[in-house]
Chains A and B, each alone.
Chain A
Amino acid sequence: MNSDISIAIVGFSSLETLGLRSLFRHDGVATECFSSLESCSDDAERFDGFVTDAGSFALHTDFFLPRKAKLLVVTGGHAVALSAQPLFIGTDAVDSDLQACADRFVESLRSNPSSPAEEISQREREVIREIAAGKTNKEIADTLCISVNTVITHRKNIASKLGIKSASAISLYAMMHGMI
């Protein structure tokens, strides 16, 4: 069967992975498992969603925060957060809550197209951080060892992708997405 949703399960032991896979037996959903983010990050754009543990999430916020709308984080304890971004679920939650969370996650992946944050390149992300730090185009160019014209091009691309232009708005965006 062709799958319409592809989920990467990242950072778990084999036994935990088996358990997580059993939660995602929905029609049209395929899962792939990776022992660490490094083993899947080069090919990350082909995944519609990610499931990871709290430790990997904390270690790789640069990668996960821009993708928080397509992320499920597995933590310890009983807590389940079904309306947050990212979704959180505790390993000790009751079975019905675990399945409800997996269902909610798949539903959100089906209803949410990719967010603008995911379309921002690594270089544009760096420019956003420098803008948020209050630097001028010249200072950004010196810091990143690129020309001022290249900085201006990056700023145009950022404005085009995110719909925001002012330095204050870009700083706010950086805060919202954990870039600073």
Chain B
Amino acid sequence: MPLYSQTSRLKDVIFTDPQVIPVINRLGVSLGVGDLSIAEVCRRHDVDPGFFLLIVNTFLNEDYFPETPEASRWLDDACRYLDSTCRYYERVQLPNIERHLNLLIDRSGDAGNLLMLRTFFMEVKTEFLSVGSDLSGASDVFDSVEEKIDDLLSFFVIHLEGDYDRNLCVAVVTSIFALQKDMRQNNRIRRRLFGSNSRSATSRHLP
């Protein structure tokens, strides 16, 4: 996948990769981007275009990460971005999955193993919240949560049983997939920037 540059139109980035929408939101840019280039959008929202591109390109390209001296210029910005990412999971994505899951259970005649899957989801949520408010948190906990989100998806895709509401199930699975993708990419960003001990690294850099 080609890397985006400051002259790329942000609307083209979004049309090509809509999963980037929550990422640019967390960077301080909302939808309604007009026909502006990334450089122009960043200027309007007072965002460093270099950092914006670092995050967007890293998020969209599994194999991409700029050389350390370049990336290290934005450690403070990266801490703030990862902090807002944690808050986004905590306040938006996890409650969204929980709401859909509860509705799915309520509307499924035979809940099958859905009740057990909700218990597992609540365990994952609790584990995340145990460090979620602690900025970018302990790396091993994020890795553990990421692994459990993968497992939760496997339960739905491979092991789901019972007579459930298929439309609501799509909503649940889609929202878990979105969280999985987002979390995996942001964990990668955190690992590349801060290594294995992200908590101590972030505490040094945040104001």
Contact = CB atoms under 8 A, between A and B. Distances in A.
What's the dominant secondary structure at chain B's contact region?
helix
Contacts of A166: 144, 147-148, 151
Interface in A100-139: 116
Contacts of A69: 161
The A interface is mostly helix, strand or loop, or mixed, namely helix
B123 interface: yes
Interface string B31-45: 000000000000000
B151 A164 contact: yes
Contact of B150 (A85, A165, A175, A176): A165
A168 B159 contact: no
Given A84-B110, A116-B159, A163-B154, A172 B116 contact: yes
A29 interface: no
Contacts of B155: 164, 169, 172-173
Contacts of A168: 120, 123, 148, 151
B1 interface: no
Interface in A64-113: 69, 83-85
Interface in B77-118: 109-110, 112-113, 116-117
B125 to A, nearest CB: 12
Interface of B: 109-110, 112-113, 116-117, 119-120, 123, 144, 147-148, 150-152, 154-155, 157-159, 161-163
Interface of A: 69, 83-85, 116, 162-166, 168-169, 172-173, 175-176
| Nearest 6 CB-CB pairings of A with B | A163-B154, A169-B151, A164-B151, A163-B158, A166-B147, A166-B148
